[in-house]
Amino acid sequence: MAKRPKRRPVRRHPQDRTEQLLAQQRRLDTAAHGLIDGRSIDQLRSELHDRELLLAEADKAAQMDPSPVNLANYRVARTQVEAAQRALEIVRLPDSAR
């Protein structure tokens, strides 16, 4: 009996992700502007520090038990840290560059 031919892996060409990246950047900027409202730069730094601690805890939990819930918590925490970092970047920019 003849051997069955093996399937070749399907190779997909990378698609243009510009729209996705722009939408992600807009969401990040919107979250960052929400953080900025009514907060001083020191409060933003404190918020970033708190979120980094939560990210470290979520990372540890996701590594010890990579369940869907823990992985989702990690992704949420990472997004929150990115938003806080972006908020600090926006606050530090001169007014003409916004």
| DSSP assignment string, 9-41 | PP-PPPP--HHHHHHHHHHHHHHHHHHHTT--H
> What does the pLDDT look like over 1-12, one tens digit per residue?
667 777 777 776
Specify the pLDDT at position 13. 65
> What does the pLDDT look like over 28-45, one tens digit per residue?
999 999 999 888 899 999
Q: In the chain, where are the structural domains located? A: 32-93
Give the pTM: 0.74
Residue 72 has pLDDT above 70, yes or no: yes
Looking at 1.20.120, 1.20.58, 1.10.1740, 1.10.287, the CATH number of the domain 32-93 comes to 1.20.58
> Cβ atoms within 10 A of the Cβ of 77, count?
21
Of 54, 28, 55, 33, nearest to 44 by C-alpha is 33
Specify the pLDDT at position 61. 95
